[in-house]
Copies of this chain bind each other. A is one copy, B any other.
């Protein structure tokens, strides 16, 4: 990965040259990581022992990294590419992202929930650093742990089977061919012959603008004060406030209500990643966006984990003690969601809101 693709010849390079250089590098990473990911997936058909704790094998991680960057560049700088090709490529990259991201996500969720449960139920004995947790010695804790472990292992196994099925598919081969083409030369429009230092920041600023507009619709005033004195009560978007349609929300459906509350944040996460990769293409550092990206990853993972817990609590024939523990863990994950929103609200104003274009310029 280069730190500054544009700096070497920023004054003379065309936008097409800078983009080609970036995509060549990312597509190269894709093609190197692909066989590794395929090999890794094949090597762990069942128990998935080789996955590491950060949520996936090295090959899959590299592959996801490259897929996100190529997709992001094709979106943000789409006007400079041959339109049909760029559109199809993005569709295929999204498909691969959805396919590959699941298994490591389930692994991270498992790690997140089981370690949350372990900390909450720690007794603080035998040199544990933290002391007793809120569920210390609760009789429901071991059962709740076993239940979550079982359900998440099953989900991971299913995700893994899907990956195995598709990793040798013709669809993946065709996508690999697309990436090979990118290593040679990207199908650019004639307009990409303009100067990089002029064209790219304009496109990047559009991506920043879309992000800014979406963030304006977030209920940041709700997240602006830590705790707000009403704890978990303000979950769920106040009626008439949400700037986006509350899709998925139905009366009497808590999961749907939370999903509607979360969804604009999840979309902001996607746009933050795009803005981050756009800055990367422009060769500009974007530490502030990296931080926001991590915060929103945490937001997404906690929200998904909360849904998993709520689902587990609907398992037939569990004991009240198990259900009680799951209720505490659910609230704990929703609190993580709130904490991430608070962190976002603290970090967001540090961005150059009226100088997107200058930020992306050298």
A-side residues, CB < 8 A to B, are: 116, 119-120, 122-125, 127-138, 226-239, 241, 249, 251-254, 257-258, 261, 313, 318-336, 338-339, 342-343
Contact = CB atoms under 8 A, between A and B. Distances in A.
Given A238-B130, A254-B132, A232 B137 contact: no
A331 B329 CA distance: 8
A316 to B, nearest CB: 9
Q: State the copy count for this chain.
A: 2
Q: Which of A119, A131, A333 has the most CB of B within 10 A?
A: A131
Given A116-B231, A328-B330, 7 more contacts: A123-B252, A124-B251, A130-B234, A131-B236, A133-B233, A134-B235, A231-B332
Q: Which of A122, A231, A257, A313 has the most CB of B within 10 A?
A: A231
Contact of A239 (B124, B133, B253, B254): B124
Q: Which of A230, A328, A329, A336 has the most CB of B within 10 A?
A: A328
Given A138-B254, A339-B229, A325 B327 contact: yes
A320 B320 CA distance: 4
12 contacts: A130-B238, A132-B251, A133-B233, A134-B232, A134-B258, A227-B338, A231-B333, A231-B335, A323-B327, A324-B324, A324-B330, A331-B332
